Structure 1
Amino acid sequence: MQHIFITGANRGIGLELVKQFLAQGSKVTATYRDQQNAQALLALAESHSTLTCLQLDVTDYPAVESLTENLKAIDILINNAGYYGPKGYGFRHTDIQEWRNVLEINTIAPLKLVEALFPLLQQGHEKKIMCLSSKVGSMTENTSGGGYIYRSSKAALNSVVKSLSNDLSDKGFTVLALHPGWVQTEMGGPNALITTEESATGLVNVITNSNISDSGSFVNYLGEELPW
C-alpha cells in the first residue's frame, strides 16, 4: 500500500487530495495546523483506518524534524500547505512582516520538510516530491505586475523544485512544481474557475502518472507544462 504524506490537508485542495488518495486505496498521513479548522479531516479519519492526522505547523522546524520518529517509509510527499498573505495591496504598500510569513510558509518550509523526511522518502517505492506552486509564480506569465508577496514566494518555490530535481534525480526522485488551477477555495475565492474536486482529480492523475523523466517540470493540473 503506497503511503502519501500531505501537508495543509484540513480544507480545500489538500482535503480533496486526501479523499481521492484514500479512495484509491492509499495510506495517507495528513497534517493540519489548527484543530478547530480541521473537523472535516478529523471526521474522515474516524471512518478510514488508513488515514493518520497530525497537528503540525510546517514552520515549526523542531517538530518537523521529529516527524520521522513515528512514521514509516513515504512514497509521495505533497507540499500543499500555503499562505496567500494580504490581498488588495499594490506597489509601495507591501507589508514586510507578512512578506516574511508568506515566504516562510510557501518557500522555506517545503524544503525543510523534504530534508526532514528524506530518509523515509528514500525508503519509499515511488520517490516523488510534489510542491503545490502557482502560475502566478511564472516569470513568463507575469504580464500584469503586482502580487509581489505571493508571486515571489511561488517563484522562489519553483527555484527550490528545480534545485531539488537536480540534486535528487540521480537518487531516483521525481520532483515537480504543480499549478492546481484557479480553484474555488478560501484562497481562490468564489469567482474561481474550477472546483476542488476537479483540481484534485487532475493533480492526482498528474502525480500518479509522473516519472523521473518529468522531474524538474512545472505543470498544471491537466498535465500541461508551464513556462518558468
Structure 2
Amino acid sequence: MIPNVLITGSNRGLGLEWCRQYAKAGWRVFASCRFPEQADALQQLAAEYGTVVMHRLDVTEPDQINALAGALAEYPIDLLINNAGVYYEKYDRPGQPIDYAAWTHTFRVNTMGAMRVSQALLPHIRRSQKRLIAVITSHMGSIAEIERPGSYYYRSSKAALNAAMKGFSLELGALEIGVLLLHPGWVRTRMGGPDGLLSPQESIEGMRARVEAFTLADSGRFFRYDGTEIPW
C-alpha cells in the first residue's frame, strides 16, 4: 500500500522540498498551503507527480482544518509534517517596539496551528502504518541555547510548541503514535535568508533520515536535522 504524508506550508522552502522528496520516493503527498492557486512551484510539482494532491489550509482557521480532515476521511496518514510557520521579527532592529498583535499571530500559527492540525488528523494517523507526527520547530525554541536578545515572538512560540508537543507525545504513547521534534538547521529559504549553511535538499534529506530511523523511544525528543539532540 502506498504510504501517505500530509505537509503543511507546502508552497515554498522546506515544505516544497518535503513534498518533492516524498513524491520522488513514491509516497502520496497531500500538500497544503493557504493559497494553492498562487503556489506556482507546487502546482508544477503536482503536474509532474500524479501522487501530489494540493489542498487549501490556513492552520489558524479551525473550519479549514476540519474541512481538510473530512476531505481526507478515507485516507490513513502515515506521516503528518507540521511545517507551516512564521517569523515576523527576523529583520527587526534591537529595541524596536514589540508588536503584540504579531506576537499573538505567531503563536496562532507556530504553536496552536500545529496542535490543531495534529488533533484533527489523529483518527487518520491512528489508522496508518507509520503513525508519526513530525514537528518542524527550531533550536531557537531551546531556552538553553538562547545567547542573544530579540526574536521574542518566534523563540517563545517555538518553546511553547516544544513543551506542548512533549506533553502530547506522552498522551499519544498509549496509542503508539510518535511525535518527533526536528530543527532543520539554518537553511537558505525565504525565512532563513541567503546566508544559510544548508540547502533545502540537504536539510530535508537529514530530517527524512530521522523520520526513517524513528522508534517510539524517540517520541517527544528534540533533534537537529543531523541527529544530534538539542537541550530544552
Of 190, 193, 215, which aligns to 2:194? 190
Number of residue equivalences? 228
**Following the alignment from structure 1 to structure 2, what is the Cα–Cα distance between the partners of residues 147 and 15?**
25
- 2:181 touches 2:220 (CA, 8 Å); kept in 1? yes
Quote the residue 1:173 is aligned against: 177
Find the residue that maps to 2:144 and give its secondary structure: coil
1:2-55 C-alpha deviation (Å, 9 max, x unpaired)? 100000011001101111111111111010112354111011111211111101
Find the residue that maps to 2:135 and give its secondary structure: strand
Shift of 1:69: 1.8
Runs of 4+ in 1 over 4 A off after TM superposition: none
Change (3 A) 1:14 1:96: same
- 1:90 touches 1:147 (CA, 8 Å); kept in 2? no
Amino acid at match of 2:141: G
Shift of 1:208: 1.4
Q: Are 1:81 and 2:87 counterparts?
A: no
Shift of 1:205: 0.9
Amino acid at match of 1:32: C
Quote the residue 1:223 is aligned against: 227
Q: How does 1:192-211 map to 2 (within 5 A)?
A: 192-211=196-215
Q: Are 1:147 and 2:151 counterparts?
A: yes
**Following the alignment from structure 2 to structure 1, what is the Cα–Cα distance between the partners of residues 175 and 35?**
35
**Following the alignment from structure 2 to structure 1, what is the Cα–Cα distance between the partners of residues 228 and 44?**
34
**Following the alignment from structure 1 to structure 2, what is the Cα–Cα distance between the partners of residues 91 and 172?**
46
Percent identity reads 38
Question: What's the RMSD between the two structures over aligned residues?
Answer: 1.2
Q: How does 1:108-147 map to 2 (within 5 A)?
A: 108-147=112-151
Shift of 1:177: 1.1
**Following the alignment from structure 1 to structure 2, what is the Cα–Cα distance between the partners of residues 200 and 4?**
14
Shift of 1:88: 1.4
Shift of 1:89: 3.9
**Following the alignment from structure 1 to structure 2, what is the Cα–Cα distance between the partners of residues 61 and 91?**
35
**Following the alignment from structure 1 to structure 2, what is the Cα–Cα distance between the partners of residues 9 and 94?**
29
**Following the alignment from structure 1 to structure 2, what is the Cα–Cα distance between the partners of residues 50 and 226?**
34
Shift of 1:144: 1.5
- 1:83 touches 1:106 (CA, 8 Å); kept in 2? yes
- In the superposition, the TM-score normalised over structure 1's length comes to 0.97
**Following the alignment from structure 2 to structure 1, what is the Cα–Cα distance between the partners of residues 190 and 10?**
13
Find the residue that maps to 1:140 and give its secondary structure: helix
Find the residue that maps to 1:124 and give its secondary structure: coil
**Following the alignment from structure 1 to structure 2, what is the Cα–Cα distance between the partners of residues 12 and 182?**
12
- In the superposition, the TM-score normalised over structure 2's length comes to 0.95
- 1:3 touches 1:73 (CA, 8 Å); kept in 2? yes
Find the residue that maps to 1:131 and give its secondary structure: strand
Quote the residue 2:28 is aligned against: 27
Shift of 1:90: 3.5
Q: How does 1:85-96 map to 2 (within 5 A)?
A: 85-86=88-89, 87-91=91-95, 93-96=97-100
For structure 1, the 5+ residue unaligned runs are: none
**Following the alignment from structure 2 to structure 1, what is the Cα–Cα distance between the partners of residues 92 and 63?**
34
Quote the residue 2:217 is aligned against: 213
